[in-house]
Amino acid sequence: MSAIILDGKKLAESVRAEVREGVSKFVAEHGRAPGLEVVLVGEDPASQVYTRNKEKASLEVGIRGKLHSLPADTSEAALLELLGRLNADDTVDGILVQLPLPKHISEQKVLDLVLPAKDVDGFHPVNAGLLASGRPGLVPCTPRGCMKLIASSGTKLLGLRAVVVGRSNIVGKPIAQLLLAEHATVTIAHSRTKDLPALCREADVLIAAVGKAEMIRGDWVKEGAIVIDVGINRVDLPPNSAPDAKKTKLVGDVAFDEAKARAGAITPVPGGVGPMTIACLLENTLLAASARLAR
Ligand code: GUN
């Protein structure tokens, strides 16, 4: 059996189309577009690409996206001051600070300062707490994207065994909460988990969010399982003398070709979870804007 490939690019396009429509209605009703401010500190090349893509994707659906690119030596005080201004600006509906931050800046202080109502990343402890309590709030984008991909496979999660590999605040913990809310039986595994392959083999739904290239092998996957690969890892390719040969490629946390032979459905890398993250950010921005104006 070969798995169904869950096409994140296509699904993201349909989410964006819905957001575009919602934004048009918002503009007609309120006379302004929802505003998203993305803040990047430093010159990390991957973060530069991500944040530029976030700004571009916003503009494409009619959101007033703005990227603040600050130098790596920006002081913590200056960043907090900018966030204070964005918090106070009524035309700003969503604020996103790209992580990781330079070492001299406290991530906790920064995330805590963003108003929960504008926290489109869903990283503020108030939003994390609301999610853990099963109450409405802004939910992190990547986990939301994963849930949409699972739903697109037609799977009902009730009673299924889900294993989440990775316990980050950005992906592992929030996706575990979302799976639990859909009545799955959820285990969060991590680097200290004993006999991880055996645990993964019990999973009807396997979420890989560890950031280690192709760590999860094909024989860790239960026959027919749904595999959601959150990893985006750049790896070197073997030397090739062709002048235009690529030197690196992107791979997930799952050994895709091996896993595909056993899974019922699987997300590719690239083109799986990645495009869904940005689509869900746009959706969160529209949700935040609508919720703020409904108050
Ligand atoms: N760095 C890696 N993933 C993310 C994300 O989802 N949001 C932010 N702000 N930074 C990240």
Residue-wise pLDDT tens digits, 47-87: 999 999 999 999 999 999 999 999 999 999 999 999 999 99
Q: Which residues are catalytic?
A: 54, 98, 121
- Are β-strands 248-251 and 233-236 bridged in parallel, bridged antiparallel, or unpaired? antiparallel
Which residue owns the Cα nearest ligand 1 atom 8?
98
Spatial CB neighbours of 193, under 8 Å, sequence gap ≥ 6: 199
One of 3.40.50.720, 3.40.50.10540, 3.90.1260.10, 3.40.50.620 is the CATH number of 141-274, namely 3.40.50.720
To which CATH superfamily is domain 31-119 assigned? Leucine Dehydrogenase, chain A, domain 1 (3.40.50.10860)
Pairwise CA distance, residues 267 & 278, whole Å:
16
The pLDDT value given to residue 1: 67
Which residue owns the Cα nearest ligand 1 atom 9?
98
The residues of the chain that CATH labels 3.40.50.720 are 141-274
pTM above 0.85, yes or no: yes
Ligand 1 center to 98 CA (angstroms) = 5
In which residue are the tokens 């699987």 written? 266
Give residue-wise pLDDT tens across range 128-151.
999 999 999 999 999 999 999 999
Segment-wise mean pLDDT, segments of 10 residues, the chain, 295 residues: 93 98 98 98 96 97 98 98 98 98 98 98 98 97 98 97 98 98 98 97 98 98 98 94 90 98 98 98 98 89
Contact 105/41 with Cβ under 8 angstroms?
yes
Which residue owns the Cα nearest ligand 1 atom 2?
99
Ligand 1 pocket by C-beta < 6 Å: which residues? 96-99, 121, 141-142, 170
Ligand 1 center to 174 CA (angstroms) = 13
DSSP code per residue over 80-144:
HHHHHHHHH-TT--EEEE-SSPPTTS-HHHHHHHS-GGGBTT--SHHHHHHHHTT------HHHH
The residues of the chain that CATH labels 3.40.50.10860 are 31-119
pLDDT over 90, % of the chain: 96
Q: Which of 118, 170, 173 to mutate to test the pocket of ligand 1 (most atoms within 8 A of CB)?
A: 170
Q: Which of 68, 99, 110 to mutate to test the pocket of ligand 1 (most atoms within 8 A of CB)?
A: 99
Name the amino acid, one letter, at 142: T
The pLDDT value given to residue 185: 98
Angle of CA points 287, 293, 295, to nearest 5°: 105
